[in-house]
Amino acid sequence: MRDVYAIGIGITSFTRLEFPLSEIAAYPVMMALKDAGIRKVDHLYVANMGSGRVNHQTGLASAVVDTLSLTPAGAEVIENGPASGGSAVKQGFLAVASGMHDVVAVTGAERMREVNNLEVTEFVATLTHPLAEYIYGVTLPSLAGMFTRAYMDKYGVTSRHLAMVAVKNQNNALLNEFAHIQQAITVEGILDSPEALTNNPYVADPLRFFDCCPVSDGGASVILATREVAEKTGRPLVRLAGIGQATDTHCVHERDEPTDLLAVRRAAAQSFKMAGVSPSDVGVAELHDAFTILEIVESEEVGFFKKGEGHLALERGETQIGGKIPINPSGGLKGRGHPVGATGVAQVYEIVHQLRGEAGKRQVADPRIGFTCNFGGFGNNVVCLTFAREN
């Protein structure tokens, strides 16, 4: 296999966007091409989950490649639920590593706010098992609520720990001009104040409003290329060094241990092994905090902390910018937002930004290894990527 480098990155604001989905997908590709100093690619991968259902548009990749005047380059949509972004980056890697293409663009985009919140919840709930989960009214927040309760019972995680994740990530988002949520919150304000039940209502007990990521529109892109092409850009060399992917049972109730996220554990281990590094080498990570509990549990499952001790590391401030292993300096899904197809690519955007040392006010001190965890379904399809800065 050939080495593969991330040579250009681009992103839109994550918010409500009044642009067609194809433009939300295309705009960050333009930025990423400009960032890399190139005009053409051999192939385009578009990560998206809902175009057909939410936006009444199919064949999205054909629209995006055309609006960018990149025809006749090949183009296709990669759909893998909320892990579509990670999967599309993986496909881009394979295309370059195999020798089939020298330069590919990967973009992730979603326009979810074209419909109301009920329709979004319903759309995302179609990820669940049709006969054994969906028919009951099971949604992703309800799976997260049940998981959180089991975790609290077993490991002593409290609502206060969950709120600490929300506060950390929303504070980080204040340093990110592309982040959806630009609101400073405090643990006291969302848990203890007399207004807490009004401003932070329950969504899926014990999870509350501020434990859940917002519904966002947005797009993010990365250009992947060979070392030869990467060297010509004159930019810091960031190599996509490791990829891991693992699946788990479709039904959450079938998992032997209700508090394990085995697909996260396995995908992370594969990714680190391929990159030849260990979790303790990681200097900055973007983890899939669609719900606050997930950041804590993923930080354990990927190997940053022992199982059941992620909330203790959080208490000690180890996951803050400036801590031992900064997690979600971008704001994560919680602060940056979660346009489902875009998220995995937005994680890559942040890690490349950080490894280059270009992240400005939220820059982590000189990271050499960066890591992303993109979590599909309720942990039934997970993609983990490891990046290494080489010069």
Partner 1 sequence: MKREIYAYRCRKCGHLHYPYRMVCAKCGENEHNEFDPEPLPTTGTLVTFTELYALPGDFEVPTLGLGIVELENGIRITGQLQIDEPAGGMKVIGEVEVVRSEEYEKYYGMIFREA
Binding site for partner 1 (CB under 8 A): 117-119, 121-122, 125, 129, 131-133, 135-139, 141-142, 145-147, 149-150, 153, 201-207, 251-254, 258
Minimum distance of partner 1 from residue 267's CB (angstroms)? 20
Q: Which helix (H) or strand (E) holds 52?
A: helix 51-54
Nearer to partner 1, 120 or 174 (CB): 120
DSSP 359: -
Residues 351, 387: Cα–Cα separation, whole Å:
8
Nearer to partner 1, 251 or 269 (CB): 251
Residue 157's DSSP bridge partners are none
| Complete DSSP assignment for 260-300 | --HHHHHHHHHHHHHHT--GGG-SEEEE--SBHHHHHHHHH
Minimum distance of partner 1 from residue 338's CB (angstroms)? 15
Nearer to partner 1, 207 or 238 (CB): 207
Nearer to partner 1, 84 or 139 (CB): 139
Single-letter code of the amino acid located at 126: T
β 43-47/74-78 pair status = parallel
Minimum distance of partner 1 from residue 213's CB (angstroms)? 13
Instruction: Find out whether 3 and 338 touch, Cβ atoms under 8 Å.
Output: no
Minimum distance of partner 1 from residue 247's CB (angstroms)? 12
Secondary structure (3-state) at 65:
helix
Nearer to partner 1, 253 or 316 (CB): 253
Exposed/middle/buried for residue 322 (C-beta within 10 Å: 0-12, 13-18, 19+): exposed
Minimum distance of partner 1 from residue 195's CB (angstroms)? 17
Q: Which of 288, 321, 324, 330 is nearest to 309 (CA)?
A: 324
Nearer to partner 1, 238 or 297 (CB): 297
Instruction: Find out whether 352 and 367 touch, Cβ atoms under 8 Å.
Output: no
Minimum distance of partner 1 from residue 387's CB (angstroms)? 35
Nearer to partner 1, 52 or 258 (CB): 258
The residues near 264 (Cβ < 8 Å, ≥ 6 apart) are 246, 297, 298, 301, 302, 373, 375, 379, 382, 384
Nearer to partner 1, 30 or 132 (CB): 132
Instruction: Find out whether 84 and 220 touch, Cβ atoms under 8 Å.
Output: no
Q: Which of 108, 110, 150 is nearest to 252 (CA)?
A: 150
Q: Which two tokens stand for residue 373?
A: 């965890």
Minimum distance of partner 1 from residue 265's CB (angstroms)? 19
Minimum distance of partner 1 from residue 152's CB (angstroms)? 10
The residues near 36 (Cβ < 8 Å, ≥ 6 apart) are 7, 8, 223, 225, 233, 235
Minimum distance of partner 1 from residue 299's CB (angstroms)? 21
Nearer to partner 1, 151 or 178 (CB): 151
